[in-house]
């Protein structure tokens, strides 16, 4: 069944929408879910339809969370009464998000909220004044350490050993996927969108289609080129997706992988290699931090990673942490315990009172 968010939206005259009713449950005020007259008059549906599939999935989850907050858990995004929102509602949502999520996540969710309210205004479901007031929300300030982790070189080695030990086509494909995720710094959605025509075997040039339709160039060299050559030997030179699904029988299916299949293959190889769980983005994070550790210029690394702002790239820079650890080692505490005088039995005898 097709996703209604993908279907083109018809342009019609907006119909009058019933006002959302506010009910009182104890001391809390919650909005009542509502049914919109048509999908193209639903501000959440219109907003999501204008996003790319990867962004649509993330923002719909964010809208579902906020719809639950606004309706006391009774509604999801497509039946939330977004046109009824006023400043008191959106400011309460902001306060809850600020207390629950990291600043980056909370601000992304607020961006989705603003986007839906903007669509409500464009659909004549919300006045310009109410829209301006409801979206007059300050950015949530704060900073947090980057999520996830970097992989160590021995972990990468063990992953590739696990792949090469698998003599099926899946082992060859997975070795190429892991190598590309690391040495080109690909996002999960970028690797599944790669086409055979994007890769020039002679020069190693790889065209990557990133966020917002932006393209960048990466280079496939060394062991990664060898791993990809082995996969292409099995795949052939046919046009289409660079990486294909593989059936249990070992047969190759000439179609695009899914985002979930990337997670699955990494989980499988991590288990085989005895490597701690990691995500596709952890390989990208390792790509950035390892390049910076090796002395690559941060502006160049930002271009290779497809970061619009070098500040994003700098979040993965481990050198300041190493410098802080080195500085901390300069301070010495003159603690020299005499182990012979430390009692080994700290129990309290019957009738004795322990003091602290």
Residues 284/181, Cβ–Cβ less than 8 Å? yes
Q: Are residues 114 and 196 in the same domain?
A: no
Q: Are residues 130 and 157 in the same domain?
A: no
Summarize the confidence of residues 295-322 as an average pLDDT. 85
Q: Examine the residue annotation and report whether 173 is marked as an active-site residue of this protein.
A: no
Does residue 308 form part of some domain?
yes
Residues 144/102, Cβ–Cβ less than 8 Å? yes
pLDDT tens for each residue of 65-117: 999 989 888 889 999 999 999 999 999 999 999 988 888 899 999 999 999 99
Q: Examine the residue annotation and report whether 307 is marked as an active-site residue of this protein.
A: yes
Q: Which residue has the higher pLDDT, 341 or 288?
A: 288
Does residue 114 form part of some domain?
yes
Q: Are residues 188 and 287 in the same domain?
A: yes
Q: For the chain, what percent of residues have pLDDT higher than 90?
A: 60
pLDDT tens for each residue of 313-345: 888 877 777 777 888 888 888 887 776 665 555
Does residue 240 form part of some domain?
yes
Residue 1 burial class via C-beta count within 10 angstroms: exposed 0-12, middle 13-18, buried 19 and up: exposed
Q: Are residues 114 and 260 in the same domain?
A: no
The catalytic position among 56, 211, 303, 315 is 211
User: What is the total count of domains within the chain?
Assistant: 2
Question: Domain of 229: which CATH number?
Answer: 1.10.443.10
Q: Examine the residue annotation and report whether 187 is marked as an active-site residue of this protein.
A: yes
Residues with Cβ within 8 Å of 88's Cβ and at least 6 positions away in sequence, in order, are none
Q: Which two tokens stand for residue 117?
A: 């309210």
Neighbours of 261 (CB within 10 A): 16
Residue 236 burial class via C-beta count within 10 angstroms: exposed 0-12, middle 13-18, buried 19 and up: exposed
Does residue 83 form part of some domain?
yes
Q: Are residues 255 and 212 in the same domain?
A: yes
pLDDT tens for each residue of 190-241: 999 999 999 999 999 999 998 877 899 999 999 999 999 999 999 999 999 9
Residues 176/230, Cβ–Cβ less than 8 Å? yes
> For 16-74, what is the HEC assignment?
CCCCCCEEEECCEEEECCCCCCCHHHCHHHHHHHCCCHHHHHHHHHHHHHHHHHHHCCC
Q: Are residues 194 and 99 in the same domain?
A: no
pTM here is 0.66
Which residue range(s) make up the domain with 298?
A: 153-321
pLDDT tens for each residue of 138-195: 999 876 666 778 899 999 999 999 999 999 999 999 999 999 999 999 999 999 999 9
Mark which of 103, 134, 165 sits at the end of a domain: 134
Mark which of 70, 100, 134 sits at the end of a domain: 134
Q: Are residues 168 and 285 in the same domain?
A: yes
Does residue 345 form part of some domain?
no
Q: Are residues 166 and 264 in the same domain?
A: yes
Q: Are residues 224 and 83 in the same domain?
A: no
Does residue 6 form part of some domain?
no
Mark which of 99, 134, 169 sits at the end of a domain: 134
> Which pLDDT belongs to residue 204?
95
Q: Are residues 232 and 269 in the same domain?
A: yes
Q: Are residues 128 and 159 in the same domain?
A: no
The catalytic position among 60, 89, 269, 284 is 284
- Residue that has been written with the tokens 């966020």 in this structure: 211
- Residue that has been written with the tokens 């990494």 in this structure: 266
Does residue 10 form part of some domain?
no
Q: Examine the residue annotation and report whether 281 is marked as an active-site residue of this protein.
A: yes
The catalytic position among 89, 94, 173, 187 is 187
> Which pLDDT belongs to residue 350?
46
Does residue 356 form part of some domain?
no
Q: Are residues 49 and 124 in the same domain?
A: yes
């Amino acid at each position: 069944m097709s996703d209604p968010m993908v279907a083109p939206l018809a342009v019609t005259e907006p119909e009058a929408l019933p006002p959302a009713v506010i009910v009182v449950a104890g001391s809390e005020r919650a909005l009542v879910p509502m049914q919109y007259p048509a999908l193209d008059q639903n501000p959440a549906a219109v907003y999501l339809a204008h996003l790319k599939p990867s962004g649509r999935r993330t923002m719909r989850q964010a809208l579902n969370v906020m719809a639950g907050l606004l309706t006391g858990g009774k509604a999801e995004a497509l039946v939330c009464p977004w046109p009824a929102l006023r400043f008191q509602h959106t400011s309460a949502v902001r306060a809850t998000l600020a207390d629950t999520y990291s600043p980056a996540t909370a601000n992304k969710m607020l961006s989705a909220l603003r986007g839906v309210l903007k669509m409500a205004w464009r659909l004549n479901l919300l006045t310009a004044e109410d829209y301006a007031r409801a979206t007059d929300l300050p950015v949530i300030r704060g900073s947090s350490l980057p999520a996830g982790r970097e992989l160590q070189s021995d972990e990468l080695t063990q992953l590739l050993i696990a792949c090469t030990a698998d003599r099926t086509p899946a082992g060859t494909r997975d070795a190429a996927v892991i190598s590309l995720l690391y040495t080109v710094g690909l996002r999960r959605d970028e690797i599944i969108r790669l086409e055979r025509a994007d890769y020039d075997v002679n020069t190693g040039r790889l065209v990557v289609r990133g966020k917002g339709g932006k393209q960048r160039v990466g280079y496939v060299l060394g062991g990664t080129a060898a791993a990809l050559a082995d996969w292409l030997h099995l795949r052939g030179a046919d046009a289409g997706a660079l990486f294909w699904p593989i059936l249990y029988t070992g047969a190759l299916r000439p179609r695009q992988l899914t985002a979930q299949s990337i997670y699955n293959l990494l989980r499988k190889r991590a288990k085989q290699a005895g490597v701690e769980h990691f995500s596709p983005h952890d390989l990208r994070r390792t790509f950035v931090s390892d390049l910076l550790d090796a002395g690559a210029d941060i502006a160049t690394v930002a271009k290779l990673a497809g970061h619009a702002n070098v500040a994003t790239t700098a979040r993965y820079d481990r050198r300041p942490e190493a410098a802080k650890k080195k500085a901390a080692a300069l301070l010495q505490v003159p603690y020299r315990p005499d182990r012979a005088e430390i009692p080994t039995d700290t129990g309290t005898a019957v009738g004795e009172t322990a003091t602290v």
